[in-house]
Structure 1
Amino acid sequence: MRNPFSKTYTSQEHEMFEFLTQIKFFERMKNKEMARFIPAMHHRKYKRDEVVFFSKDPSQALYLVKKGQITLTIDVKDNFETILEINKGEAFGENSLLENTKRTYTAIIVSEDADLIVIPYFAIQEIFDSNPKIKAKMMTSLAEYYNQNNQRLFKSYRESFGFFSLRQMFE
């Protein structure tokens, strides 16, 4: 039997919860926790070749992809080198979950158009301040995400041994 005092959600909210649970940073959350983010979400449309943000910009928002494809690139001398392609149901701008960070890559729309959900940094921090459990869940997911990236980096390094020194990472 359903608790008569429990919150009921609209079909749009349930649709959003379904979408959010596909995304790494929301996968551990209950509906009532995800619901905290809904008022902070802004829907934005982008066109091909639009830059969402540049490397070294302040990390002011987390981006969730509803539609489209985005490439994450790093500047190598005078070129942009693609490090990752992001698709529907994925997120980028993850370092906005941390305080006082700058972007480490440039995000560019490569599909004809893209629909993104933007969650501003200040709204995320507000939710974290009042909900330590939500912060813990997102930080655990972020740590796992960074751990997977480290594993890929080290695998790539082993496969291309000699092109750079890992020691440079810590200098």
Structure 2
Amino acid sequence: MRNPFSKTYTEEDLKMFDFLRLIKFFERLKNKEMVRFLPAMHQRKYKKDEVVFFSKDPSQALYLVKKGQVNLMIDIKDNFETILEINRGEAFGENSLLENAKRTYTALVTSDDADLIVIPHFVIQEIFDSNPKIKAKMMTSLSEYYNENNQRLFRSYRESFGFFSLRQMFE
């Protein structure tokens, strides 16, 4: 028997929860936790070669890819090098989960168009401040994400036979 006091969600809400579960940073959250983000989410459409944000910009939002492809790029001298390709069901701008962070890469739309869901940083921080459990779950996911990135970085470094010094990371 259904609990008469439990929250009911619209079909649209349930579809959004299913989509959010695909994304690393939301995978630990229950529906009643994810629902807190829904009012703050807005969709934006981007065209091919449109920059979502530049490296060193303030981290003002988390982006979720509903449709399309976005390349995350770092600038090396006068060239851009793609470090990661982001597709449907993935997020980028993850350091917006942190306070006072700046972008570490440039995000460029590479598909003909892209539909992105934008969650503003200030809303994320308000949710974190009022619900430490949500913050703990999402920060755990962020830590795992960064740990996986470090593992890939070190594997790549070992395979490149040390064309750069890892010690430079800490100088």
Quickly name the TM-score band, shorter chain normalised: over 0.9
Find the counterpart in structure 1 of residue 95 from structure 2. Answer: 95
Figure out how many residues of one structure are paired with residues of the other and give that number.
171
Alignment pair present for 1:59 and 2:32: no
Task: Give the RMSD, CA atoms, in angstroms.
Answer: 0.4
Distance in 2 between the 1:116 and 1:162 partners? 37
Find the counterpart in structure 2 of residue 28 from structure 1. Answer: 28
**1:13-69 deviation line (CA, Å, top 9, x unaligned):** 000000000000000010000000000101000000000000000000000000000
Find the counterpart in structure 1 of residue 46 from structure 2. Answer: 46
Alignment pair present for 1:164 and 2:142: no
Distance in 2 between the 1:82 and 1:43 partners? 25
Find the counterpart in structure 1 of residue 84 from structure 2. Answer: 84
Structure 1 outlier segments of 4+, above 2 Å: none
**TM-score (structure 1 length as normaliser):** 1.00
- Please state how far the C-alpha of 1:161 moved relative to its aligned partner: 1.6
Secondary structure, counterpart of 1:17 in structure 2: helix
Aligned residues with identical type, % of pairs? 84
Structure 2 unaligned residues grouped into runs of 5+: none
**TM-score (structure 2 length as normaliser):** 1.00
**1:100-133 deviation line (CA, Å, top 9, x unaligned):** 0000000000000000000000000000000000
Distance in 2 between the 1:15 and 1:157 partners? 40
Find the counterpart in structure 2 of residue 13 from structure 1. Answer: 13
Distance in 1 between the 2:5 and 2:16 partners? 22
Distance in 1 between the 2:158 and 2:56 partners? 28
- Please state how far the C-alpha of 1:162 moved relative to its aligned partner: 2.6
Alignment pair present for 1:138 and 2:138: yes
Find the counterpart in structure 1 of residue 122 from structure 2. Answer: 122
Distance in 2 between the 1:96 and 1:15 partners? 24
Distance in 2 between the 1:136 and 1:65 partners? 23
Aligned residue identity for 1:44: R
Structure 1 unaligned residues grouped into runs of 5+: none
Find the counterpart in structure 2 of residue 152 from structure 1. Answer: 152
Distance in 1 between the 2:89 and 2:64 partners? 7
Alignment pair present for 1:73 and 2:83: no
